[in-house]
C-alpha cells in the first residue's frame, strides 16, 4: 500500500495523477484495525500542517500530518474521525503564520457563510442509468441533436429569498420540464462550491465539492441520474482559468503562491478580482485534470463547458499596460495554458471517449475543435461568439433599418464550418443591463414577440448546436435577476404562454427533422437559396441530411412587409409541406392565412430549376419540407 501511495505522489508531482481525488483529501478508512479518516494535502512550503475540527475543538497541533518525503505532500491518519465531521487544515506557513484552509480536495463544504470541509463518502449511491451510459459509448455527439437548456439552479425556481430548490426536488421538477419542452441537454452553471451567490459559481473555492446550497452530493447524483433516465445529457460549466481570493481557499495556500502564478502580473485577473492558476506547475495539471475526470467519474457528468478560454490563452487579456507580459518566444500566447488545454482534452477523451468538451472562447485562436495531433486544442465544440454578436445586433435593429446591415445576418456562413460550433444564447447576454432577449427586440409589443419567434426560428435552423438560457423559452421580459426566480407568473399572460408553446413546437421540430442537425459541421449540409435580398430583408436556405434524408427549406421575412405571393427557388420537383409558421395564431402571431402546401413549378428562380409560391407575413420564419 505504501508503494502504491508513493507512486501516486510521484505521478502527482509530474502532472500525471489523473484520479488524484482518490489519494488526496479526506477518506474514511481503517488502519491497524482502527476506523478513522486518512488525509493528504499538498503544501510544500509549509512548516507544519494539522487537521482541526469539531473532533478536537479546532485546536491546532494535536493532530499533525507528516511530510511524505520531498513530494511537498502531508499525510496522516486520525482515528475516531468519521463521515460528517467538519474540518480544516491549519497550515503553519512559510512565514510562520497560521492559516485555516478548506480542503482543496474536500468532497463537501458547509453552507455559506461557513467554510469548513466535511468528511464525505461518495460511493454509496445506486445509479440507475446503465442503459444511458452504455448507449452514449456507441453514439458520438456530432451527428445527434443538441438542444441545450442553460440553467442556474439557484434561480430557476425558488420558494423565497435564499430558499433554494434541492437537487432532489429539481430531479423531478426540472427534468419533467426539460422533457415537456423537448430539450436534449441540460447545462448547469458551475456547481463547485463558492462563497458568493452572485458569482453564479464562477469564482470557486471548492473544486471537488458540489455546492451545499441545494443539498448533499447524492441529491446531485439523483438529478443527473434522472436526466439520463429521461434521455437528457448533463453538461457542467467548469472554471479552470481562475479562482477567488477568499482566505479559506487556494490563495497563498502554504504562505506562498502555490496554486497561483508567482508573478502577480500573470496571477491577477483584475477585471474579476481573482487569481489565475499557474499552468506551468505539474501539480496544478494533476489537480485540475483530475477534477475534470472527477465530475465524469463520480457524478456521471456527460461533458464540460470550459469557461473563459480566451482569458486563459492570452497573457494580455483585459490587462492594464503595467501588467502585460510576454512568453519565452516574445508573443502574448500563454503557452503553458495552451499546453494544459491540449492535455486536458487528451486526458478526458482517453478516459471517457464519448464526452463533450466545449470551449467558451471569444478569441480568434485557430483550430480549437481540431484534434491535438493535428495541432488543434482538441475540444469537440466551441461557442460561436461571432454569430451571437452579429445576429443579436441585427435583430436589435429596427426592421426598417435592417437592409443596411444585411451582412450581419449572413456573414456567419462564411466561417460556420471552420470549427464545430455551438450557437449560444446564454446568461451572459441577458444580465448586467443587457436586457432579456425579448426586451432587445425592436418595435411594438406584438412586434417584439414576432421578432423573437423569428429570431429563434433562424437560430434553430442555422448550422451549429444550440443553447438557450432559462427563461428565454417563454419570453422573460426583465433581464435575469440572479437573486430571484424566473418570472413564472408571466405564464398567466397569453403572449408568454404562446411563446412557450412556440418554443416547445420548434424544439420538437428540430429534434424530429434530422436535416437540422445531422450535418451541422459539414458544409455540404447547407445551401443558400437567396442570400442577397437585402432590399426586402428576406433570406432563404436549405438544410440537407444525408442521401435519402428529407431536406428542409427555411424562409425568413425580416421586414415589416407581408408578401401574399412570394416565389422561392427549390431544387426538385414535387409537393412541399409547411412544417412551421411562426405567425400562427397558436403562437401569438397574426394568424394571417398561409399556404400549407405548395407544388413546385418548372419556373427557375434563385438559381434553382423549380420554384414554389408561398405567402409569408411580416417578421415570420417558415420551415418547409419536400417529404
Catalytic residues: 307, 360
CA distance 1 to 25: 17
**598 and 576 in contact (C-beta within 8 Å)?**
yes
- Residue 358: phi and psi, rounded to 5, are -115, 130
Enter the DSSP assignment of 469.
Answer: E
Distance CA 515, CA 458 (A): 14
151/224 Cα distance (integer angstroms): 14
List 567's β-bridge partners, or say none: 613
453 contacts: CB under 8 Å, gap ≥ 6: 499, 502, 582, 583, 587, 588, 589, 619, 620, 621
- Which residues are CB-contacts of 360 (< 8 A; sequence separation ≥ 6)? 305, 306, 307, 308, 309, 383, 424
For residue 535, the tally of other CB atoms under 10 A from its CB is 9
Q: How many Cβ atoms from other residues are within 10 Å of residue 349's Cβ?
A: 17
Q: Which three cell numbers stand for residue 614?
A: 408561398
In this structure, are residues 359 and 381 in contact, taking their beta carbons and an 8 Å threshold?
Answer: yes
What CA–CA distance (Å, rounded) separates 548 from 391?
Answer: 32
Residue whose C-alpha cell is 415537456: 180
Task: State the sign of the Cα–Cα–Cα–Cα dihedral 92, 93, 98, 104.
Answer: negative
Which residue has cell 438542444? 147
Quick one: DSSP state of residue 150? E
The beta strand positions in 201-333, using DSSP E, are 206-210, 233-238, 242-243, 268-269, 274-276, 303-306
Alpha-carbon distance of 83 to 232, in angstroms, equals 32
Contact of 608 with 570, CB cutoff 8 Å: yes
φ/ψ bin of 364: left (φ > 0), alpha (ψ from -120 to 50), beta (otherwise): alpha
Give the span between the Cα atoms of 40 and 625, in whole angstroms.
61
Do the beta carbons of residue 385 and residue 424 sit within 8 Å? yes
Place of cell 512559510: 94
Written as nine digits, the cell of 292 is 475534470
300 is written with which cell numbers? 456521471
- What is the SS3 string spanning 24-70? CEEEEEEECCEEEEEEEEECCCCCEEEEEEHHHCCCCCCCECEECCC
Return the percent helix, strand and coil in the chain, to nearest 5: 30, 25, 45
Q: Could you tell me which residues are beta bridge partners of residue 472? A: none
Can you tell me the distance from the alpha carbon of 189 to that of 201, in angstroms, rounded to the nearest whole number? 7
Where do the H-state alpha helices sit in 51-196? 130-137, 153-156, 167-180
Contact between residue 106 and residue 206 where contact means Cβ atoms under 8 Å apart:
yes
Amino acid at each position: 500500500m505504501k508503494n502504491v501511495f508513493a507512486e501516486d505522489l510521484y505521478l502527482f508531482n509530474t502532472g500525471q495523477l489523473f484520479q488524484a481525488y482518490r489519494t488526496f483529501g479526506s477518506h474514511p478508512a481503517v488502519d491497524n484495525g482502527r476506523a478513522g479518516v486518512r488525509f493528504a494535502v499538498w503544501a510544500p512550503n509549509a512548516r507544519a500542517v494539522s487537521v482541526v475540527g469539531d473532533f478536537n475543538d479546532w485546536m491546532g497541533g494535536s493532530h499533525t500530518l507528516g511530510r511524505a518525503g520531498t513530494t511537498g505532500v502531508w499525510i496522516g491518519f486520525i482515528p475516531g474521525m468519521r463521515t460528517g465531521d467538519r474540518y480544516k487544515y491549519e497550515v503553519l506557513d512559510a512565514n510562520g503564520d497560521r492559516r485555516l484552509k478548506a480542503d482543496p480536495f474536500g468532497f463537501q463544504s458547509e453552507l455559506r457563510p461557513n467554510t469548513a470541509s466535511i468528511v464525505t463518502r461518495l460511493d454509496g449511491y445506486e445509479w440507475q442509468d446503465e442503459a444511458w451510459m452504455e448507449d452514449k459509448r456507441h453514439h458520438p455527439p456530432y451527428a445527434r441533436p443538441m438542444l441545450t437548456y442553460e440553467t442556474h439552479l439557484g434561480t430557476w425556481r425558488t420558494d423565497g429569498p435564499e430558499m433554494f430548490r434541492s437537487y432532489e426536488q429539481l430531479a423531478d421538477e426540472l427534468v419533467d420540464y426539460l422533457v415537456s419542452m423537448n430539450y436534449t441537454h441540460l447545462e448547469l452553471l458551475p456547481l463547485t462550491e463558492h462563497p458568493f451567490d452572485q458569482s453564479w459559481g464562477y469564482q470557486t473555492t471548492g473544486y471537488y465539492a458540489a455546492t451545499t446550497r441545494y443539498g448533499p452530493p447524492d441529491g446531485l447524483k439523483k438529478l443527473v441520474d434522472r436526466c439520463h433516465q429521461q434521455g437528457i445529457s448533463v453538461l457542467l460549466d467548469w472554471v479552470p482559468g481562475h479562482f477567488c481570493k477568499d482566505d479559506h481557499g487556494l490563495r497563498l495556500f502554504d504562505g506562498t503562491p502555490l496554486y497561483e502564478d508567482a508573478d502577480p502580473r500573470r496571477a491577477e485577473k483584475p477585471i474579476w478580482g481573482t487569481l489565475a492558476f499557474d499552468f506551468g506547475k505539474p501539480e496544478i495539471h494533476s489537480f485540475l485534470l483530475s477534477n475534470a475526470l472527477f465530475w465524469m467519474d463520480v457524478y456521471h457528468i456527460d461533458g464540460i463547458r470550459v469557461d473563459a478560454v480566451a482569458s486563459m490563452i492570452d497573457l494580455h487579456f483585459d490587462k492594464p499596460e503595467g501588467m502585460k507580459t510576454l512568453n519565452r518566444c516574445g508573443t502574448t500566447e500563454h503557452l503553458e495554458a495552451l499546453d494544459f488545454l491540449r492535455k486536458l482534452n487528451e486526458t478526458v477523451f482517453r478516459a471517457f471517449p464519448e464526452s463533450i468538451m466545449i470551449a467558451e472562447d471569444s478569441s480568434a485562436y485557430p483550430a480549437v475543435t481540431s484534434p491535438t495531433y493535428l495541432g488543434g486544442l482538441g475540444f469537440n465544440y466551441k461557442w460561436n461568439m461571432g454569430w451571437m454578436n452579429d445576429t443579436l445586433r441585427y435583430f436589435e435593429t429596427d426592421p426598417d433599418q435592417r437592409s443596411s446591415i444585411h451582412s450581419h445576418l449572413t456573414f456567419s456562413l462564411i466561417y460556420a464550418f471552420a470549427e464545430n460550433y455551438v450557437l449560444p444564447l446564454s446568461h451572459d447576454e441577458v444580465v448586467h443591463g443587457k436586457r432579456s432577449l425579448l426586451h432587445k427586440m425592436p418595435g411594438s409589443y406584438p412586434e417584439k414577440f414576432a421578432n423573437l419567434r423569428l429570431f429563434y426560428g433562424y437560430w434553430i435552423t442555422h448550422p451549429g448546436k444550440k443553447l438557450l438560457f432559462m427563461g428565454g423559452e417563454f419570453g422573460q421580459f426583465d433581464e435575469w435577476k440572479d437573486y430571484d426566480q424566473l418570472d413564472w407568473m408571466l405564464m398567466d399572460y397569453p403572449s408568454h404562454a404562446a411563446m412557450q408553446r412556440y418554443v416547445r413546437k420548434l424544439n420538437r421540430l428540430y429534434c424530429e427533422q434530422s436535416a437540422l442537425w445531422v450535418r451541422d459541421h459539414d458544409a455540404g449540409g447547407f445551401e443558400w437559396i437567396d442570400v442577397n435580398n437585402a432590399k426586402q430583408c428576406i433570406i432563404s436556405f436549405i438544410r440537407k441530411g444525408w442521401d435519402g434524408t428529407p431536406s428542409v427549406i427555411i424562409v425568413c421575412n425580416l421586414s415589416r412587409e407581408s408578401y401574399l405571393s412570394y416565389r422561392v427557388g427549390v431544387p426538385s420537383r414535387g409537393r412541399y409541406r409547411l412544417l412551421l409558421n411562426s405567425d400562427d395564431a397558436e403562437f401569438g402571431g397574426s394568424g394571417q392565412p398561409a399556404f400549407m402546401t405548395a407544388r413546385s413549378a418548372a419556373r427557375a428562380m434563385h438559381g434553382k430549376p423549380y420554384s414554389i409560391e408561398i405567402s409569408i407575413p411580416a417578421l415570420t420564419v417558415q420551415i418547409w419540407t419536400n417529404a
